Amino acid sequence: MSLDPVLSRIDADLEAAMDRLKELLRIPSISTDPAYKDACETAADWLVADLASIGVEASKRATPGHPMVIGHVDGTGPHLLFYGHYDVQPVDPLELWDRDPFDPEVQETPKGKVIRARGASDDKGQLMTFVEACRAWKAEHGTLPCKITFFFEGEEESGSPSLVPFMRENADELRSDLALICDTGLFDSRVPAITTMLRGLLGEEITITGPSKDLHSGMYGGAAMNPIRVLSRIIAQLHDEQGRITVPGFYDGVPELSSDLRAQWDGLNFDHSAFLGDVGLSDPAGEAGRTALEMLWSRPTCEVNGINGGYTGDGFKTVLPSKASAKISFRLVGQQDPHAIRDSFRKMVTDMLPPDCEVSFTGQGASRAGAFDTSGPAFEAARKALSDEWPDPAAYIGCGGSIPIAGHFQELLGTTPLLIGFGKDDDQIHSPNEKYDVESFHKGIRSWARVLDALS
């Protein structure tokens, strides 16, 4: 089957494709708010009907929360699974939106046309790039180029409580040769990218308790141990002067970059100074001798996300608190074991306690990093297909955050994920005035058509 007529069909059908996206964007499918339960059902129904319109055998599947949408198309060649999510973030604060978040509009901006609405970039616009690519294939050739399973979730923005049980119960139906995920973006808003590294995450909340109640600092200060002082000393010793994390055994399983990947990242010409300058900073604060991209994508971190203790209201109160707490997160890479790190961290903290102080720990989740072997032919075929569509050649990149679904595909289905997305850094996902560039939507559809051609 020829690719050229598919690309021509995509170009000719762009306005109709944008109209379909607007229909989906008008549905306020906010998964975390029970008031929008019916809207999530409506969005799932809309997707079932849209998939059916291009010959996909699709159905809505009930879960304890919001439904999944599953669709199948038989074919020859590899079996591809495409994942996206139709639920969106809440719109608060509503007063910061320039228009109704669920009244999508194409707007002219200094950087080009954008589609403005909640969910435009995360993830309805991204999801529909793949559906529209399939629509063009079907229109031109009467069939899709290979066997495809569509898997759309309705709870991604609310923690995906139904996802793992559903995947376990339907593993045979969902298992495929390759899983395609469109929930990422272009590098530096310009370079097409395949994300091949995802950091894991370990969260810990620690509470130091000293005296049995809050004390007057004039009567007890100096004589009584202050839990904030203890907590401050513990936090200060989590990093050495070179920015390395001091938890014993923390770097076990942390790999160094390959020379090929390092060269590719260097070729991205990432402006480290501008990256920090955009948020009012200038000097990298992580491990000495590492580039910003290394620190963001391939190095582990330890960060304090919140501290609480004593009097924090307006004015001043000379209190010596009974308790002090901190929320600490670790981003993990390579083969780091989050459970072993948790045990080591807790022992380190406990060993640092002075007399008359106790500590309690509350775990806040633990997940391993994900790294995907790019030596398989699918990765290079997809990278070449993306390079053929965009001005800049596509790159393998890392991701500083965590995308749990990618790990679930590996662990529960034994399927390698391929993460490709077309969002831009300024899409304002999760924020007021979210948008998706028309260029991202258009070239995203063309990109998926090329990737389908290359993989099939």
CA distance 255 to 265: 16
CA distance 228 to 308: 9
Residue 33 falls in which region: left (phi positive, over 0), alpha (psi -120 to 50) or beta: beta
SS3 percent helix, strand, coil of the chain, rounded to 5, is: 35, 25, 40
**CATH number listed for the domain at residues 200-255+294-367:** 3.30.70.360
Give the helix ranges, DSSP H, for 26-99: 37-53
Contact in structure between 159 and 44 (CB atoms under 8 Å)? no
CA distance 120 to 101: 10
- Which residues contact residue 443 at a Cβ distance below 8 angstroms, ignoring those fewer than 6 apart? 389, 390, 422
Band (237; pLDDT cuts 50, 70, 90)? very high
Per residue in 149-189, pLDDT (tens digit) is 999 999 999 989 999 999 999 999 999 999 999 999 999 99
Domain with CATH 3.30.70.360 in the chain: 200-255+294-367
Rounded (10°) angle between helices 14-25 and 124-141 = 140
Angle at the Cα of 149 (from 145 to 150), degrees rounded to 5? Answer: 110
Per residue in 75-84, pLDDT (tens digit) is 999 999 999 9
Per residue in 253-296, pLDDT (tens digit) is 999 998 988 998 999 999 988 889 988 999 888 899 999 899 99
Domain with CATH 3.40.630.10 in the chain: 4-198+370-455
Share of the chain above pLDDT 70, in %: 100
Nearest to 295 by CA among 244, 351, 259: 244
**Which residue bears the tokens 């970059």?**
257
Using the predicted structure, report yes or no on whether residue 402 has a pLDDT greater than 80: no
Question: Of the given ranges (87-96, 281-290, 348-357, 431-440), which has the lowest mean pLDDT?
Answer: 281-290
Q: What is the pLDDT of residue 373?
A: 86
**58 sits in which H/E element:** strand 57-61
Residue 8 falls in which region: left (phi positive, over 0), alpha (psi -120 to 50) or beta: alpha
Mean pLDDT of 321-341: 96
Band (89; pLDDT cuts 50, 70, 90)? very high
User: For all residues of the chain together, what is the average pLDDT?
Assistant: 95
- Which residues contact residue 396 at a Cβ distance below 8 angstroms, ignoring those fewer than 6 apart? 193, 194, 195, 196, 261, 264, 374, 379, 383
Using the predicted structure, report yes or no on whether residue 205 has a pLDDT greater than 80: yes
Q: How would you label 285-316 residue by residue, b for 16+ Cβ within 10 Å and e otherwise?
A: ebbeeebebbbbbbbbbbeeeeeebbeeeeee
Return the bridge partners of 326, or none: 206, 307
Per residue in 405-429, pLDDT (tens digit) is 998 999 999 999 999 999 999 999 9
**CATH number listed for the domain at residues 4-198+370-455:** 3.40.630.10
Q: What is the pLDDT of residue 403?
A: 84
